[in-house]
Structure 1
Amino acid sequence: MSGKKELTYLESVHRDGRAWGLLLFFLILFFPFGVAIIFQAWPNWGALARGTLAILPMYWAVGIVEIFTYVPMLGAGGAYLSFVTGNISNLKLPCALDAMERAGVKANTEEGEIISTISIAVSSIVTTVIIVIGVILIIPLTPVLSSETLSVAFAQLLPALFGGLAVVFVSKNLKLAIFPMILMLVLFIFVPALNASTVGIMVPVGVLFTLAVARIMYKKGMLS
């Protein structure tokens, strides 16, 4: 009889998630160093350090805030897989939320963890397959994809995706959703500096604002 303790589902998720996260970290660093070694093309280390110091604080801040923002919505397994495969806010998160909504489960349950992880894994596989097909067909399809007719449709893909999700989640509690929507509309309309590149910062801002509004409304008995 083995004295080895069996890991629970969440313990195994954390073990594998940390291992794959570290492996990805080294693989990401290996590529530029490998290219530099093979081609003997080393960067200007002084310029690299100055550039890194200029942008690193923002990325560290966004990275830390995203962990506290996304993990409660994705669950542990979904969060590990999302942070490894990337493209969270406009692909992995909508897929996970929609899958859990259809399955009728919550992210903080074991069932929600499993559904979230499976949906994100399927999303990653589908994305990879589409990218491979796109790389193969990019040259013959370039005239079609660059046409003015399709460019108008492509510009509406993300609004259509999030619009569909918004209808589902906003309709659950319109009183709670209306204030964050007004805030984001006002900010993005009247603050020109806010654009697609600031989504990583504005998502946590919206979450914190929504939590604060929800607490105030709950205290005043405005939420059932």
Structure 2
Amino acid sequence: MAKEKFVSPKEKDYFDKVHRWGVMWTIGAILMLLSIPVLVCIKLNVFPDGNALKQVLPQLMTLYWLTAIAEVIAYVPMLGAGGTYLSFVTGNISNLKLPVGLNAMNSAKVKANTEEGEVIATIAIGVSAIVTTIIIAVGVVIFSLFVGPEVLQAPAIKPAFDFVLPALFGALAASYFGKYWKLVIVGVLVGVIVLIFSPAMGVGTLMFITIVATLAAGFGMYKLKWL
């Protein structure tokens, strides 16, 4: 029989507060996001066509439900409760919050899904959200005053924006590829095989399949003492 993990009263109180405030802010963010288009529709007296919504929504919901499930499965063990709530409320998870949380834990030499990792990831993501907001606000003001749209849309600059995500994930993934190369091989092979037989598969579905396959492979390798 597996031994239950002891949770101190202080730790339980911390997680209770995190979940309570996390749920409240998540609901608040959802209501705010939904209220903007609703208010615009009411103000302009323009509403989406019901028949068009019936045709489009089922496909979009199927894609985003799978993506949402895959993101929760992938992000929660790495970012912890506080980091996950902050990430989902502030957005930019894969290209900003996830790298920030992982790099902070790596720099502090703590592991994910531990008390230390929980605190470090939450602080790092919170600081990242504040810094990002300040930088964006300052950048918008500066660009609006001194830089015109013709400069940002120039053909010479456009390739730089196309390589932002590959540069972020390449730098982040390099260290993990070196540490866990066996799991990386499984994930890449599964992704390639799935795309060979189903090249039109959505990114959300593909991500879910590769995550589940990698988790299963990791569990099997751990049992066989290959990791």
Query: What is the alpha-carbon distance in structure 1 between the residues aligned to residue 167 and residue 220 of structure 2?
Result: 31
Residues 1:205 and 2:212 aligned together: no
Q: Deviations over 1:19-47 (max 9, x none)?
A: 11111121122112211222222222343
Gaps of 5+ in 1: none
TM-fit CA distance, 1:97: 0.9
Q: Decide which of 81, 85, 100 is 2:86's aligned counterpart.
A: 81
Runs of at least 4 residues off by over 6 Å: none
* Greater relative contact order, per chain length (Cα 8 Å cut-off, separation 6+): 2
Q: Contact conserved, 2:66 with 2:204, CA < 8 A, in 1?
A: no
TM-fit CA distance, 1:186: 5.8
**Identical-residue share of aligned pairs (%):** 45
Q: Deviations over 1:49-97 (max 9, x none)?
A: 4322332222223222322221111110111111111221222111111
> What is the TM-score with the length of structure 1 in the denominator?
0.82
Counterparts in 2 of 1:177 and 1:56: CA distance versus 1, 3 Å: closer
Query: What is the alpha-carbon distance in structure 1 between the residues aligned to residue 84 and residue 77 of structure 2?
Result: 9
RMSD (Å) for aligned C-alpha atoms: 2.7
Counterparts in 2 of 1:192 and 1:130: CA distance versus 1, 3 Å: farther
Counterparts in 2 of 1:169 and 1:56: CA distance versus 1, 3 Å: same
Counterparts in 2 of 1:113 and 1:27: CA distance versus 1, 3 Å: same
Query: What is the alpha-carbon distance in structure 2 between the residues aligned to residue 75 and residue 59 of structure 1?
Result: 22
Q: Deviations over 1:87-133 (max 9, x none)?
A: 21222111111111111122312221121112212222233233323
Query: What is the alpha-carbon distance in structure 2 between the residues aligned to residue 30 and residue 188 of structure 1?
Result: 38
1:1-224 equivalences under 5 Å are 8-136=13-141, 137-138=143-144, 140-184=147-191, 192-193=199-200, 198-223=202-227
Query: What is the alpha-carbon distance in structure 1 between the residues aligned to residue 40 and residue 130 of structure 2?
Result: 27
TM-fit CA distance, 1:188: 5.8
SS in 2 for 1:149: coil
Counterparts in 2 of 1:133 and 1:199: CA distance versus 1, 3 Å: farther
Query: What is the alpha-carbon distance in structure 2 between the residues aligned to residue 51 and residue 87 of structure 1?
Result: 25
User: Which AA in structure 2 matches 1:10?
Assistant: F
SS in 2 for 1:105: coil
Query: What is the alpha-carbon distance in structure 2 between the residues aligned to residue 141 and residue 168 of structure 1?
Result: 39
Counterparts in 2 of 1:76 and 1:219: CA distance versus 1, 3 Å: closer
Query: What is the alpha-carbon distance in structure 2 between the residues aligned to residue 189 and residue 52 of structure 1?
Result: 28
User: Which AA in structure 2 matches 1:204?
Assistant: F
Query: What is the alpha-carbon distance in structure 1 between the residues aligned to residue 104 and residue 207 of structure 2?
Result: 20
